[in-house]
Chains A and B, each alone.
Chain A
Amino acid sequence: MKSREGSVIPKIFINIFLSVFSVCCLIPFLIVVSSSFTEEQMIIENGYSIFPRDFTLLAYKYIMADPTQIARAYGVTIVVTLIGTVVSLIISSCLAYVLSRKDFPHRGKISLYLFFTMLFNGGLVPSYIIVAQVLNLKDNIFALILPYLIIPFYVLLLRTYFSEIPFSLVESAKIEGASEINVLFKIILPLSLPAMATVGLFIVLQYWNDWWLALLYIDNANLNPLQYMLYLIMQNLNAMRLSPLQGQISTAALPGENARMAMAVLAIGPIIFAFMFVQKYFVSGLTVGAVKG
């Protein structure tokens, strides 16, 4: 009894710490939202604030006047994320399952091969040559999907989870006449839902937040994903600031401070919901691969 009462004080500290931490996480987000509703001149003169000083929808009207750019970027991102996540989950789980089977003779070598790429990789130039010149995927939507199909870390996560499922389940299924494919899709995967959901979320985020592949392989503005569009908006300003040619470069064509924030708000949009849907698996999934007592 006593020991339980004694643990109240640390709990208070933990709660205070976590509350402060979550407020710190929220404030930048609030500032972004509030700036998107503020008049541009107000931002220039007074800086950012947590609550909009004089409320206006001008920035959103400005973006929505020609929503094709943002709509197209959304389209690209959604297509890439959907296709990428589904295909990546299938391939990763197949690979992880094979590696988790103790009766597969070459699992050590293949695991090493996989693990090796986590530590060392070819680097930028060879991978660019492969994608752009060998596979000829420049300005192709698959350049945004293929490079992330197998991420070794996620495969290893899944493998660890799969190998915790008793092998006797597989054996009994086989005695009943199930094929290997059936064993994987009907028995192993349903049992691994938390792991699949967690890894799935990681992959979704990977694809959703990616701008790097677009920077490398996409020249055609119609194929720009959302994050890359945002990245360009921010980077364009920075690059112009560094330019010694300031006098000649017109910044008039750039979106104002509030419009940029509004774009950021619009871009955050749906990915927040992804968290909500997978949250219930998320906690159990996070212990994937952790040592259990």
Chain B
Amino acid sequence: MYKAKKVISLALGLALSVSLFAGCGDSGSSASNSASGSAASATETASGSAADTSKPVLEPVTLSWYVVGTPEKDTALVEDAVADYLKDSLNCRVKINYLDWGAYEQKMNVMIATGDEFDLCFTANWQVNFIQNAGKGAWADITGLLDQYAPKVKEKYAKYLDACKVNGKLYGIPYNMSGFGAQGAVYLRQDLVDKYKLDVNSLKKYEDLEPFFDQILANEKGITPLCMAGGNGTVGLFNYWFDQPDVSVPSLGVKFDDQSCTVVNTDDQPESIHDRELLRKWNQEGYIRKDAVSIKDDDPEMMTKKYAAEIGGYVPGWLEDYEKKFKFDMVAVPLGSKPLLNTTNITQSCVAVSSTSKNPERAVMLLEQSNTDPKLLNLLGFGIEGKHYVVVDDKDPIIKIIKNPDGVTDETNGYRTNMEWMFGDPWMLYSNLPERPALVEAQKKATDNCVVSPINGFTFDNSPVKTQIAQLTAIFNEYKSIWNTGNMDLAKFPAYQERLKKAGLEDVQKEMQKQINEWKAK
């Protein structure tokens, strides 16, 4: 009897403590609500004072900004310089918190979950899930703040801001403009191209590579024509024919030129069938290694010099980066479909204001300035002129060509982050490449050439079909490496489709269509 009492009291205690934690969660969200409420009132007072005087005197504040990067020795010095530079305008100190790639996601998620106070942070659809966290209330709604405090940013990024909206509210500012124009391309090894006198200008589609691949197979022992890795995501041939609202269900999408926004099963479409058959053929011919499925990542494979070509995204300037990484010369030939501007691409990197921020309006003002004032941006990104870099060429009005000061190398430089793009407009950054201004022009053009997806700005809320999506993702993950490397018998494709259907592909399709229709009606 005594024992039973003990057990009951224990169970009661447990239930109590559980309810306590549940209570914690609730109070957490209500706290964030009240925080945003007070933020709104703070906004009003701040705007009031802004209207009163032509040169408002702002209270000094510290904004903490979390970005990815390896912590640098001289970060405090740069913070001092930024505070000095902003003293008469924003009057704020920016605390730059570099967190390593390996720690960023976990640390930010814990901070968000516990309601830790910070102001700005890097987020994306693949790091610290931007859209999910927007739904959870982690970010401050900056729709109104942007109108008031960041009119230039609003105008400059007007084309992209729709994609950063969740349920009609703006939660972030994108800053990876240079990556939007990425087009599928084949990277070929320069030495082999020269040896076999391949005319790269004659390449118009992927099939045109076949004679070259045959030559490699026949004459180069130990070299596989094409480097493909089963471990990569849905790379395939890098054709963006469809906008897939949910990356975990790549079988559903809207065709990039379908203004009626009909969700289709992408696997049934002629473009996908063509790509699939081509990959299968290449695999059979031996252009792709038979064990490519088990390769995790294609870049380190390519570095071994055992391949003649690799498929990847291309934007002017990226070839040079790859060459530096691989340590041999290559040519890039864009062969994939035109780049697509859609929600997934734009939310690949954003900066968001935290809902725990005490000064969201100042944070937005800071974003306005870091995206329009090259001096501030480059101070944040490259440090102090004369100490962390020296200018070698300032012919271009914005992009100065810089290098390390004499006697300083990348290793001994106290502020060489390689993460300068975390702070704002990438096209205003200084560079150590003399050809950078021309590259920026080319990148701008590539981005302007993007096909804008008919459902750009739509974000799919997968909660009504979560179980189906979990099943579909599992099936997809089982097959993706085999499909991507052309390793599966096409005769087995219907069986795969059948499995997807059983797992509820059509339910998700209907739900997606429903949400797209609602979104369009708005």
A residues touching B (Cβ–Cβ < 8 Å)? Answer: 44-45, 65-66, 120, 122, 124-126, 128-129, 132-133, 215-216, 219-221, 231-232, 234-236, 238-253
Which of A125, A219, A250 sits near B97, CB closer than 8 Å? A219
Contact B101–A126 (Cβ < 8 Å): no
Asked if B441 is at the interface (CB within 8 A of a chain A CB), the reply is no
Contacts of A120 in B (CB 8 A): 14
Contact A132–B116 (Cβ < 8 Å): yes
15 contacts between A and B (CB under 8 A): A44-B303, A122-B21, A124-B113, A125-B113, A128-B113, A129-B114, A215-B107, A219-B71, A221-B70, A232-B100, A236-B100, A236-B101, A239-B105, A241-B299, A253-B416
Contact with A along B172-195 (1 / 0, CB 8 A): 000010110010000000000000
Which residue of chain A has its CB nearest to the CB of B13?
A116
Contacts of A253 in B (CB 8 A): 70, 410, 416, 418
Contact A248–B114 (Cβ < 8 Å): no
**Complex Cα–Cα for A242 and B297 (A):** 9
Contacts of A232 in B (CB 8 A): 70, 100, 102-103
Contact with A along B257-300 (1 / 0, CB 8 A): 00000000000000000000000000000000000000001011
**Complex Cα–Cα for A238 and B100 (A):** 11
The distance from the CB of B428 to the nearest CB of chain A, in whole angstroms, is 15
Contacts A216-B110, A235-B102 given; indicate if A250 touches B418 (C-beta within 8 A): yes
Asked if B348 is at the interface (CB within 8 A of a chain A CB), the reply is yes
Contacts of A242 in B (CB 8 A): 126
The distance from the CB of B116 to the nearest CB of chain A, in whole angstroms, is 7
Contact A247–B411 (Cβ < 8 Å): no
Contacts of A216 in B (CB 8 A): 106-107, 110
The distance from the CB of A60 to the nearest CB of chain B, in whole angstroms, is 16
Contacts of A65 in B (CB 8 A): 411
Which of A126, A235, A249 sits near B418, CB closer than 8 Å? A249
Contacts of B416 in A (CB 8 A): 253
Contacts A216-B107, A248-B321 given; indicate if A44 touches B300 (C-beta within 8 A): yes
Contacts of B70 in A (CB 8 A): 221, 232, 236, 253
From residue 346 to 385 of chain B, which have CB atoms closer than 8 A to chain A? Answer: 348-349
**Complex Cα–Cα for A242 and B312 (A):** 14
Which of B14, B116, B412 sits near A133, CB closer than 8 Å? B116
Contact B104–A239 (Cβ < 8 Å): yes
Q: Which 7 A-B pairs have the closest CB atoms?
A: A235-B102, A239-B101, A221-B71, A247-B318, A236-B101, A232-B100, A250-B418
Contact B304–A45 (Cβ < 8 Å): yes
B residues touching A (Cβ–Cβ < 8 Å)? Answer: 14, 21, 24, 70-71, 97, 99-107, 110, 113-114, 116, 126-127, 176, 178-179, 182, 297, 299-300, 303-305, 312-313, 315, 317-318, 321-322, 324-325, 348-349, 410-412, 416, 418, 421, 426
Which residue of chain A has its CB nearest to the CB of B418?
A250
The distance from the CB of B438 to the nearest CB of chain A, in whole angstroms, is 17
Which residue of chain A has its CB nearest to the CB of B117?
A133
The distance from the CB of B299 to the nearest CB of chain A, in whole angstroms, is 7
Which residue of chain A has its CB nearest to the CB of B28?
A125
Contacts of A125 in B (CB 8 A): 110, 113-114
**Complex Cα–Cα for A53 and B321 (A):** 30
**Complex Cα–Cα for A48 and B313 (A):** 30
The distance from the CB of B513 to the nearest CB of chain A, in whole angstroms, is 26
Contact A252–B102 (Cβ < 8 Å): no
Contacts of B299 in A (CB 8 A): 241, 246
Given contacts A232-B70, A252-B410, A253-B410, 6 further A-B contacts (CB under 8 A): A66-B411, A125-B110, A215-B106, A215-B107, A219-B99, A231-B102
Contact B100–A252 (Cβ < 8 Å): no
**Complex Cα–Cα for A256 and B291 (A):** 26
Contact A247–B179 (Cβ < 8 Å): yes
Contact A235–B101 (Cβ < 8 Å): yes
**Complex Cα–Cα for A216 and B103 (A):** 8
Contacts of A248 in B (CB 8 A): 176, 178-179, 321, 421, 426
**Complex Cα–Cα for A240 and B97 (A):** 19
Which residue of chain B has its CB nearest to the CB of A224?
B71
Interface centre among B97, B114, B300, B303 (most CB of A within 10 A): B114
Contacts of B297 in A (CB 8 A): 241
Contacts of A128 in B (CB 8 A): 110, 113-114
**Complex Cα–Cα for A38 and B457 (A):** 50
Contact A240–B101 (Cβ < 8 Å): yes
Contacts of A247 in B (CB 8 A): 179, 182, 313, 315, 317-318, 321-322
The distance from the CB of A269 to the nearest CB of chain B, in whole angstroms, is 22
**Complex Cα–Cα for A216 and B418 (A):** 24
Which residue of chain B has its CB nearest to the CB of A47?
B304
Contact A45–B102 (Cβ < 8 Å): no
Contact A238–B102 (Cβ < 8 Å): yes
Contacts of A235 in B (CB 8 A): 100-103
Contacts of B71 in A (CB 8 A): 219-221
Contact A252–B324 (Cβ < 8 Å): yes
Which of B14, B114, B315, B325 sits near A252, CB closer than 8 Å? B325
Which residue of chain A has its CB nearest to the CB of B102?
A235
Which of B103, B304, B349 sits near A245, CB closer than 8 Å? B349
Which residue of chain B has its CB nearest to the CB of A249?
B418
**Complex Cα–Cα for A26 and B186 (A):** 42
**Complex Cα–Cα for A174 and B351 (A):** 68
Interface centre among B318, B321, B416 (most CB of A within 10 A): B321
The distance from the CB of A115 to the nearest CB of chain B, in whole angstroms, is 12
**Complex Cα–Cα for A290 and B325 (A):** 56
Contacts of B349 in A (CB 8 A): 245
